């Protein structure tokens, strides 16, 4: 009988978050919160041919000095991603990705529903031809199965960007940021980042442009126990003490 009230008391503490089971130590390093987890997010790290480091697939970049777009977004560097040249003269897509972001050591917080994400990127295109890019984050479990996806950028988003005179073209596309956020799905072990550029018109270049890609995770604080919950715990503790005293 003496252990029953202790078990009940412990269960009550667990219910309001004042007591938590001790997790086994982990050797994995948790991904940092409140920091951009994208490698080479602004495509400034390139080789002599302008190919972006830390990305695989279509890794071509342009320089803003080539004047294919409006002025660079605030905080951008000298270069941005485009889909690549040498594409057949038909509607087609091309993509780039990088090694998945490891969130395995953040699993306890993710599975408790305490981790949210923010995804954003800047987009533009070559004049008014309509090519566009999409940046996506796919949440994957330990077996690499998809648990859901978030994306920014679209054909409609790029079509709605302002048309500006950049001194070379009177119909150059400006740049703007698209963003989304949400809760990281329970069971997420990693996040795969991918850029897909789509050509909608003629020519041999996929001119869907993107820059300054940002993906972050944030930890929500543990909610404070309500006054009512604390009063209930106090009452349970007092009752348990009186019961023991009578025995």
> From 2.40.10.10, 3.65.10.10, 2.40.50.1020, 2.60.120.260, which CATH number describes the 32-224 domain?
2.60.120.260
Q: Is the pLDDT of residue 45 over 90?
A: yes
* Cα angle 19-22-28, degrees, rounded to a multiple of 5: 135
Kindly report, residue by residue over 88-103, the tens digit of the pLDDT: 666 688 999 999 999 9
**Do residues 210 and 135 make contact, with C-beta atoms less than 8 angstroms apart?**
yes
pLDDT (0 to 100) of residue 147: 98
Minimum mean pLDDT among 20-29, 58-67, 123-132: which range? 20-29
Structure letter (DSSP) for residue 66: G
Q: Which band of pLDDT confidence, cut at 50, 70 and 90, is reported for residue 11?
A: low
CA distance 241 to 244: 5
CA distance 153 to 160: 11
Beta strands in 70-171 (DSSP E): 79-81, 92-97, 101-102, 115-125, 132-140, 146-152, 163-164
pLDDT (0 to 100) of residue 84: 86
**Do residues 125 and 40 make contact, with C-beta atoms less than 8 angstroms apart?**
no
CA distance 47 to 64: 17
Instruction: Judge if pTM exceeds 0.85.
Output: no
% residues pLDDT > 70 (the chain): 77
Q: Which band of pLDDT confidence, cut at 50, 70 and 90, is reported for residue 241?
A: very low
């Amino acid at each position: 009988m003496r252990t029953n009230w202790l078990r009940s008391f412990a269960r009550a503490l667990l219910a309001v978050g004042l007591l938590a089971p001790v997790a086994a130590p982990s050797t994995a390093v948790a991904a940092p919160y409140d920091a951009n987890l994208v490698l080479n997010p602004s495509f400034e790290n390139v080789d002599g041919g302008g190919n972006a480091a830390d990305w695989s697939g279509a890794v071509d970049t342009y320089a803003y000095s080539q004047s294919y777009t409006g002025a660079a977004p605030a905080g951008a560097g000298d270069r941005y991603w485009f889909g690549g040249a040498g594409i057949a003269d038909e509607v087609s897509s091309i993509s780039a990705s990088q090694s998945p972001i490891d969130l395995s050591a953040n699993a306890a917080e993710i599975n408790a529903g305490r981790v949210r994400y923010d995804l954003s990127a800047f987009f533009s295109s070559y004049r008014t031809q309509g090519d566009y890019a999409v940046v996506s984050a796919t949440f994957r479990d330990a077996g690499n199965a998809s648990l859901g996806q978030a994306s920014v950028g679209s054909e409609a988003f790029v079509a709605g960007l302002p048309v500006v005179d950049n001194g070379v073209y009177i119909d150059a596309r400006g740049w703007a940021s698209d963003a989304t956020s949400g809760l990281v799905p329970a069971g997420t072990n990693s996040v795969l980042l991918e850029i897909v550029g789509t050509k909608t018109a003629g020519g041999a270049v996929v001119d869907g442009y993107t820059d300054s890609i940002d993906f972050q995770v944030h930890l929500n604080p543990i909610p404070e126990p309500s006054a009512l919950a604390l009063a209930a715990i106090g009452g349970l503790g007092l009752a348990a003490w009186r019961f023991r005293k009578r025995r």
